[in-house]
Amino acid sequence: MERRDFLTTAGIGAAASVLAAPAIAQSAPQIKWRCTSSFPKSLDTIFATSEAVAKRVAEMTDNKFQIQMFAANEIVPGLAAADAVSNKTVEMAHTATYYYVGKDPAFAIPCCIPFGLNARQQNAWLYEGGGGELANEFFKKYNFIGFPCGNTGAQMGGWFRKEIKSVADLQNLKFRIAGIAGQISAKLGVVPQQTAGGEIYPALEKGTIDGAEWVGPYDDEKLGFSKIAPYYYYPAWWEGGPTLHMLVNLESWAELPASYKAAIQAATAEGNQMMLAKYDRLNPQALKRLVAAGTRLLPFPDDVMEASFKAAEEVYADLSAKNADFKKMYEALKEFRGEEVLWFQFAEGFFDRFMFQLQRRKAI
C-alpha cells in the first residue's frame, strides 16, 4: 500500500510503476510513525513542541514521512515511553530520560543532574562537547537513539506550605521530588514523595504533602498551587536546564532514508530551541501574575543550597563507584561543567548581572 500511495501522489502512470518504483521508494517512501509523549496535552508548551517537530518533518517531506503524536496514556503511560521505543511498540517517544533512573541512574545525565549544566551549557555539551555521543552509546543498550528536543530552562524550586528558613526546616518535610534529586534531598531530612501531576494539588491541599516541585511559573500557575502553598522557592538546583529527548527505535532509525534522518535531526534541533523560547516568553508573564496574586517568591537559603550540593557530591561518588556508565558520563560532564562555569562568569554573567541591576532600580 505504501508504495502504491506514493506512486499515486507523485502522479506516475501505471505503465511506469515497475520501472520507477524501486528508486523512488528508496529515496522518498511513505512512512507513518507513532510517537508517544511522556507528557499530557495540558503541558501545552512541551506537547506543542513535539507536535511542531512532527509537523516540520511532514512539511519537509511533502507529507511522505508522517509522525503522529500521542499524549501520555493514549498508547502507554508517560513513564513507559522509553520502554515502548525499546520494544518497538512505537517508533518514537518524546520524554525526559531522567524518568528512567530506576532502570539505570545514568539515564539522568543526558537530561540533567542536580548542580549540572544550564540550558545553554547542556546544548553545548550534547551537540558539540561529546555529550550526545556518550548518551547514544548508552542509549544503544536500550535499542534507541536520542535527539535533544526541548528545554525548560532552570526550573523553580517548588511550592511550600511553610517558609523554609534553613536546613532544619527540611526535617521530615514531605516534598514531592523524584529521582536523584529525591535521593539527595533525603540526605537533608526530606521525605521525598512520588506524586503524579494531577494528584499534587489535592495532596498539598489536604496536607498529605508539605511541598511540591513542578516546572516553572507558566506550568505551575495552571495547577493552582499558589492558593494552598504560598511560598514559591527558586531555583530547582536539581534542574538547571533539563533537556528532553526524542528517542527513536534503532531498527526504525536504520530503515529511514538519509533525507528523513536529516529531517529528524534538523526538526528536533529546531524543537529543542523552540521549547526554551516558548518558556522564556511565557514564564515572566506567569510569574508577574502569581506575585500580583500574593505568591511569596524566595530563594532557597544558603545553607540549603550548600548542604544540597554536598549531598549531591556524595550521591555522585556513590553512583560512580557502583555504575560504570554513570561514572563515564558524569566525569565527562563534570569536566565540561568546569570550563563552562568558568567562562560564563565573565562576558555572559557580567552582562546579565548588569541588566539585573538596571531592572531592580527600574532603569529598564
Residues 11-50 that bind a second copy (CB under 8 A): 11-13, 15-16, 19-20, 22-24, 27-28
For position 342 contacting a second copy by CB under 8 A, the verdict is: yes
Q: Using CB under 8 A, pick the residue from 2, 10, 88, 196 that binds a second copy.
A: 10
> ∠ CA 336-339-342 to the nearest 5 degrees?
145
Whole-Å CA distances, 318 to 173, 240, 327 = 24, 22, 10
How many Cα atoms sit within 13 Å of 205 on the Cβ side?
Answer: 9
Half-sphere exposure of 279 (CA within 13 A, CB side): 24
Q: Which is nearer to a second copy, 87 or 259 (CB)?
A: 259
Least Cβ distance, residue 286 to a second copy (angstroms): 9
State the amino acid at position 345 in one-letter form: Q
CB of 77 to a second copy, least distance (A): 29
- Nearer to a second copy among residue 141 and residue 353 (C-beta): 353
- Which of 281, 293, 314, 324 lies at the binding interface for a second copy (CB under 8 A)? 281
- Is residue 287 near a second copy by the rule CB under 8 A? yes
Shortest spacing between CB 276 and a second copy, in angstroms: 7
The least distance separating a second copy from the CB of residue 42, rounded to whole angstroms, comes to: 19
x-or-dash pattern for a second copy, window 213-252, by CB under 8 A?
A: ---xx----------------xxxx--x------------
62 near a second copy (CB under 8 A): yes
Q: Is residue 317 a contact residue for a second copy (CB under 8 A)? A: no
How far apart, in whole angstroms, are the C-alpha atoms of residue 87 and residue 79?
14
Q: By the 8 A CB rule, do 312 and 239 touch?
A: no
Residue selected from 29, 150, 153, 192 as contacting a second copy according to rule CB under 8 A: 153
Instruction: Give the length of the chain.
Output: 364
CB 314, min distance to a second copy, A? 13
Give ∠ CA 64-69-70 in degrees, rounded to 5. Answer: 145
Q: Single out the residue of 336, 360, 139, 119 nearest to residue 244, CA to CA.
A: 119
Tell whether residue 87 is a contact of a second copy (CB under 8 A): no
Instruction: Using the minimum distance from each CB to a second copy, give the nearer residue, 75 or 184.
Output: 184
Contact 106, 325 (CB under 8 A): yes
- DSSP secondary structure letters along 269-320: HHHHHHHHHHHHHHHHHHHHHHHHTT-EEEEPPHHHHHHHHHHHHHHHHHHH
Taking CB under 8 A as the rule, does residue 259 contact a second copy?
Answer: yes
Provide, rounded to whole angstroms, the least separation between the CB of residue 206 and a second copy.
Answer: 28
Applying the rule CB under 8 A, the residues between 116 and 135 that interact with a second copy are 118-121, 123-125, 127-129
**How many residues interact with a second copy (rule CB under 8 A)?**
94
HEC string for 213-230: CCCCHHHHHHHCHHHCCC
